[in-house]
Structure 1
Amino acid sequence: MPKSTRKRSSGRARSTARGAIETITRPNQSWPVKLLLTVWRWRWELYVLAAIAYIVIAHGSAITGYFQSNPLWLNALLIVVLCGWIVTDNPARRFAMNRIWCVTTRHRLRACLIEMRVLNYSGNLPFILGCFATKTGQVVWLWMRPGQSVEDLDNKAESLASACWASKATIARSKRNAAIVRIDIDRRDPLAKTIDSPLLEDTSGVPEAAVADDAVMAFLTPDNTDSVPDEFTTERPAKTGTGETRTRTSKTKTTAAVNDSQTVILGANGEDVSDYV
């Protein structure tokens, strides 16, 4: 094979291989910046480890001596009471569960942003300002870096909800600052359970037919015309040319009953205007 042919073919192969490789640049950060970001990201885990280390070092011997001095049944009772206090609903348990879910949501959200390639050209992810507990789940605040906006998260709400093990995710931008993005992670629906209203007890004994009737329309359009006063249907007698007196009926008819169950309202020309009332 000629030498020139080999060069052209190898050049095409290199261009094809280069097009199949995704290049992602990483920001050139110093070690102090990386250390601070790592501490910020894992701050709650570091708090827990520091608390456990302090308890073991400072009070480990006292706790061990206390359990050794007590009988076995008392130690078992203390453990059962402690486990029951952790399981039951109390402020300390709610705080701990909220913190655990907030930390989990923050880590899962960051992993999802990496997999979805929500990066700028420098390779920076949106900065997670904080994650806070709500009545339906958690809310995460993001600070979009230069080159990023809320448009980078369009049509990605389902991916975020799946990554955070939630039922729904809602993405919204701040009205004052476009760089601040709010992500609501909904894990539960507070209205899913049946709500007992005291107002339902007042209508429990009323028949369904009475509840289905429209009381307002029944008052405005009575079924019979006997209850309508005479001044609304007739006018005072008028004299004719021959001296006879006849009663002149008004052109406007108020109501007309049909089948004794449906009320129809007629206009001046006899047109049915029930749908417009």
Structure 2
Amino acid sequence: MPKSTRNRSTGRVRRRGRGSATSAVETITRPSQSLPVIILLSLWRWRWELIMLATAAYIVIAHRDAITGYFEANPLWLNALLIIVLAGWIFTDNPARRFARNRIWCVITRHRVRACLTEMRTLNWSGNLPFIVGCLSTKTGQVVWLFMRPGLSAEDLENKSETLASACWARTANITRSTRNAALVRIDIDRRDPLSKKHIVSPLLNDTSDMPEAAVADDAVMAFLGPDPASETPAVGSTSSTPAKTGTGEIRTKTAKTKTTAAVNDGNSVILGANGEDVSDYV
């Protein structure tokens, strides 16, 4: 039981025992960074947002009069048609739309990975996070390259794939270390599965790829893939003759010589040769 003491001057009761709640909080001291370093890191982190903001500001300031004059000079139906064509071009599948979509997802993924690393406390003793080298788009999602600061390694991200996938709003996340440099870590963010389609057109089936499953079951392709019928084997003791051509143009029958076995009444077997001679004593 903790003992309680009363302060004579104030009359307050103090309890002795375990430490206070503030002493149990772990504090991380961040290194003192100079102002130029902070500005450079902020520009690198928000570079795509700053580029888009600068482009929009340039268009508004430099070409505002030209754009407004164009819309005022043309009739209303032509302006509406232009807006519909531009909207259709934006929402249809084209290289410009795919590039913009991939860039947007790369920016979102990079911010989400950094936020997840901060919440997971993936820091070294100086309080520095892994440096995000870059984020590239792939056919299934994005790939993020991390440069681990001194004091960090790929082991600090073990068993964290589900947490990263949840933070990036993705299906799965795979963490691999570079074979050349242990400080480089690759995180593959998979957002879509190319094999998840219910209907896959295969060039191997030609005209049967678009057929329903019930029709394919009775198709000739399935019969072709089935087992071959059992081949007929000649019976024991039978002779097979094949026609052979001679040099004079005549055709004669070639008889295959086979061994036959004749059974006798005493239960012993007699082996006959090609010319009918008993060769049982030689076998």
Conservation of the 8 A alpha-carbon contact between 2:5 and 2:13: no
- Select the residue among 8, 12, 16 that pairs with 2:18: 12
Structure 1 residues not aligned, in runs of 5+: 239-243, 249-277
Deviations along 1:168-203, whole A, 9 cap, x unmatched? 111100000010000000111111122211322488
Alignment of 1:146-225 (within 5 A): 146-193=150-197, 194-201=199-206, 204=216, 205-206=219-220, 211-213=225-227, 215=228, 222=230, 225=233
Compute the TM-score of the two structures, normalised by the length of structure 2.
Answer: 0.73
Deviations along 1:138-179, whole A, 9 cap, x unmatched? 000000001111111111101111110111111100000010
1:226 matches 2:224: no
Deviations along 1:69-127, whole A, 9 cap, x unmatched? 11111111111111111111111111111100000000011001100111111111000
Residue 135 of structure 2 aligns to a residue whose secondary structure is strand
Partner Cα separation in structure 1 for residue 181 and residue 128 of structure 2? 19
- Select the residue among 85, 90, 93 that pairs with 2:94: 90
Structure 1's 69 and 156: CA in aligned 2 closer, same or farther, altered over 3 A? Answer: same
AA at the equivalent of 2:18: R
Partner Cα separation in structure 2 for residue 123 and residue 227 of structure 1? 87
Aligned Cα RMSD in Å? 3.3
Residue 107 of structure 1 aligns to a residue whose secondary structure is helix
Partner Cα separation in structure 2 for residue 227 and residue 90 of structure 1? 70
Structure 1's 121 and 211: CA in aligned 2 closer, same or farther, altered over 3 A? Answer: same
More RCO (CA 8 Å, sep 6+): 1
Q: How many residues align?
A: 235
Identity %: 65
Structure 1's 7 and 126: CA in aligned 2 closer, same or farther, altered over 3 A? Answer: farther
1:144 matches 2:143: no
Compute the TM-score of the two structures, normalised by the length of structure 1.
Answer: 0.75
Partner Cα separation in structure 2 for residue 18 and residue 227 of structure 1? 97
Partner Cα separation in structure 1 for residue 183 and residue 58 of structure 2? 40
1:130 matches 2:134: yes
1:118 matches 2:132: no
Structure 1's 123 and 225: CA in aligned 2 closer, same or farther, altered over 3 A? Answer: same
1:109 matches 2:113: yes
Q: Where is the helix percentage greater, Structure 1 or Structure 2?
A: 1
Partner Cα separation in structure 1 for residue 156 and residue 14 of structure 2? 39
Residue 29 of structure 1 aligns to a residue whose secondary structure is coil
Partner Cα separation in structure 2 for residue 207 and residue 113 of structure 1? 54
Deviations along 1:195-222, whole A, 9 cap, x unmatched? 2113224885238576443x4xx6xxx5
Structure 1's 162 and 227: CA in aligned 2 closer, same or farther, altered over 3 A? Answer: farther
Residue 86 of structure 2 aligns to a residue whose secondary structure is helix
1:55 matches 2:63: no
Structure 1's 7 and 23: CA in aligned 2 closer, same or farther, altered over 3 A? Answer: farther
AA at the equivalent of 1:206: A
- The list of structure 1 runs, each at least 4 consecutive aligned residues, that deviate by more than 4 angstroms after superposition, is 1-4, 201-204, 207-210, 222-225, 227-230, 234-238
Residue 124 of structure 1 aligns to a residue whose secondary structure is coil
Partner Cα separation in structure 2 for residue 90 and residue 209 of structure 1? 43
Q: Where is the strand percentage greater, Structure 1 or Structure 2?
A: 2
Partner of 1:24: 28
Structure 2 residues not aligned, in runs of 5+: 209-215, 240-257, 263-267, 273-283
- Select the residue among 224, 238, 247 that pairs with 2:271: 247
Partner Cα separation in structure 2 for residue 237 and residue 12 of structure 1? 103
